[in-house]
Amino acid sequence: MDVRVGDVLTMKKKHPCGAFEFDVLRSGMDFKLRCRGCGREVMLPRSKAEKNIRKITRPEEQA
């Protein structure tokens, strides 16, 4: 799965604050994600994160 820094991930399960969307801050063996609802940062192993991704939204490429 091609996940890049700056992408917005929509997850299957919601964060305890109620938000489903997370910003990708770091990708590699682990993902560092920031909740778009409360701003909390979490680290998830790549395998667990990839199972829970519903949609990847990329910011528009700027010329």
In a domain, 3, yes or no: no
In a domain, 42, yes or no: yes
Query: What is the count of structural domains for the chain?
Result: 1
Helix (H), strand (E) at residue 54: strand 53-57
In a domain, 45, yes or no: yes
In a domain, 25, yes or no: yes
Predicted confidence band of residue 41 (pLDDT cuts 50, 70, 90): very high
In a domain, 2, yes or no: no
The yes-or-no verdict on residue 48 having pLDDT over 60 is yes
The yes-or-no verdict on residue 61 having pLDDT over 90 is no
Domain extent for 42: 8-57
In a domain, 30, yes or no: yes
Mean pLDDT over residues 29-52, rounded?
Answer: 95
Instruction: Select from 50, 2, 43, 48 the least CA-distant residue to 25.
Output: 43
Mean pLDDT over residues 28-41, rounded?
Answer: 95
